[in-house]
Amino acid sequence: MNPYSKLEDYAFWSRSMSRPAPSQIDPCVSGRIISPTDKVVTIGSCFAQHLGRFIRTSGLNYYVPEAGPDDMPETEKAIRNYGTFSGRYGNVYTVRQLNQMFDRAFGLFSPEDDRWEHKGCLVDAFRPQIQPEGFGSESELEADRASHLAYVRNIFTEADFLIFTLGLTEGWRSKKDGAIYPVAPGVSGGTFDPVKYEFVNFTAAECEADLAMFLEKLRGVNPRAEVILTVSPVPLIATYEPRHVWVSTTYSKAALRVAADSAERNFPNVTYFPSYEIITSPAAQGRYYADDLRQVTDMGVKHVMRVFSKHFFSPGQVSSAPASMPFHIVAQDNPGIVCDEEVIEKSLHQN
């Protein structure tokens, strides 16, 4: 008899990784049951949109208060980023960005540099791609932002489950007040000025502290909210560090994983869901990534959703994810995923 003698199979590599069929590997050992009436909201990086779509099609209450005007056609709503997430906030890549979005919504932070010029119009510096043609005037932008932040307050106060997908540690911020932007100034609006803006790559300790701070603030306005944390398996599209993008990617994901683990250990309402581990598992042998080695394939997404439904849906609840899937199936890309980060490469081709 030794301390390992009575451990579950999931504690052993041979039993939980080597022996199961690759498509049946399940690294999640606990979850929180989401009832059909619970309001579920999503925030985060590009990969978070997969969870949002899955929840919507699974019969759960995907809460999208900022859904767009009733008389706007659905195709137009999609173009204007209504329904991409629970709110029209675009991608929220870093934990600091999430923290500041909370503060802006509750009147705790009013950044000075909050709008940029772009192709003859104005864009919201914190949501530069939500309005394809931009805003025609400052009053139009301010009215839309005020409405948006009211919805964000509603999202934080009304959510029963908040799913946050952590994406990046790298970002760009204002030297004046520390405001964090989803993309670098000059990429999707504005002009980069090193006197005004600076690059930042948050440490694991900073991510951990920022996440704890957000969770405390969320508890203050919504003590019943359960939080599900995930880490995006999508690699960085580019790094500003003077090193290889893969090295920066592994650092970023490791730091975010540390922050998520710390949050789960210290906050009883937080659960970590291992979507990152499912996609990057050695058992997948890279088959959950598309030819660009970055985008997650449909096959990988479905594996993630099968595991998610197993641990977060009540028994017998309808799920759009197949119970099993042949591992050799030819995977397809997932169209329609909105990713602010990708404008970095697009902007280079336009110059």
Statement: residue 17 has pLDDT above 90: yes
- Which range is least confidently modeled, 47-61, 80-94, 114-128? 47-61
Statement: residue 65 has pLDDT above 80: yes
Contact partners, residue 185, CB within 8 Å, separation at least 6? 116, 125, 172, 191, 192, 193, 196, 197
Q: Which residue has the tokens 């699974």?
A: 58
Statement: residue 114 has pLDDT above 70: yes
pLDDT tens for residues 185-218?
Answer: 999 999 999 999 999 999 999 999 999 999 999 9
Residue 166 parent element (H or E)? strand 161-166
- Measured at the CA of 350, the angle between CA 43 and CA 202, to 5 degrees, comes to 40
Question: Cα–Cα distance between 130 and 119 in angstroms, integer?
Answer: 15
With a pLDDT cut of 70, the percent of the chain lying above it is: 90
pLDDT tens for residues 229-266?
Answer: 999 999 999 999 999 999 999 999 999 999 999 999 99
pLDDT tens for residues 295-324?
Answer: 999 999 999 999 999 999 988 775 444 443
- pLDDT of 331: 28
pTM of the model: 0.91
Query: Three-class SS of residue 148?
Result: helix
Statement: residue 345 has pLDDT above 70: no
Statement: residue 78 has pLDDT above 70: yes
- pLDDT of 228: 98
